[in-house]
Amino acid sequence: MIALDDEQQAARAWFEQLRDRICAEFEAIEREAGSDAAFTYRPWDRTDSTGAPGGSGVQGLMKGRVFEKVGVNVSTVAGAFDGEFARSIHGAAEDPRFFATGISLVAHMANPHVPAVHMNTRFLTTTKRWFGGGADLNPPIPYAEDTAGFHAALQAACDAHDPDHYPRFKAWADEYFYLPHRKVHRGVGGIFYDHLEGDFAANFAFTRAVGEAFLAAFPPIVRRRMGAAWDDADLARQRAWRGRYAEFNLLYDRGTLFGLKTGGNVDAILMSLPPMATWD
């Protein structure tokens, strides 16, 4: 076990509670579709380079009728960044020791008309303390109604805390979730934020609001689209789009790099990859 201070423990507890609520809602959707699919949970432990305890996590995975593959992971880890990697992390150049706790979610859907989605929020401690995260919608077949509703929920969460948050974090998501080698965005966007530091209570409240906004916005989209008819052309479009998603996560995603560089659970880190994708 690693020792946690009050702020670290509060963040960890929230991420785990949010995981429980999201998984329960996703299982409820499976029941509505006549499926008995449920999450399986795989705990894992981390040791640092000296063999000392370095935290732990739980990989939650479900494969069902609506959710072809969805992972909802939580982790709480601590240790020291290696060499050059420390210089790339906020506040770690002066001291490589770190603490990180968070939730990470990626859902790939069976029906091509239902958008895939990503959400994560996290709290990190180096010589600085900050929150980061966000959520973005990734439809193979976009619908304006879904995009508008998803963004409206995130904007409401942002506006309740700072009117500058939504335009700033939306633009950050548009810049971040982009494949420069293909000159296309990964999806229809959302918000992305990082290095939100200073007032712990205010920043923690905003991070909780992001989680609540996701839970309010995404399940209605799934229920709206999961019964739509689809054909082979729709499936081919979905699988080609998933190839772009895999490219982003393997080439550019910061969370993937952070997990691999800090000795996280490889299966949990790479759960973001789609179950089936194609490249022409």
Residue with tokens 């995404």: 218
* Residue 165 annotated as catalytic: no
> DSSP secondary structure string, 31-86?
HHTT-----EEEEEEEE-TTS-EEEEEEEEEE--SSEEEEEEEEEEEEEE--HHHH
165 and 224 Cβ atoms separated by less than 8 Å: no
**Among 159, 189, 196, 152, residue whose Cα is nearest residue 173:** 189
152 and 166 Cβ atoms separated by less than 8 Å: no
Helices (H), the chain: 6-32, 83-87, 144-159, 165-176, 200-225, 232-251, 254-261, 266-269
Under 8 Å CB-to-CB from 51, ≥6 apart: which residues? Answer: none
Determine the 3-state secondary structure of 18 from DSSP: helix
Active-site residue, selected from the candidate residues 108, 113, 118, 185: 118
Q: Which residues are catalytic?
A: 118
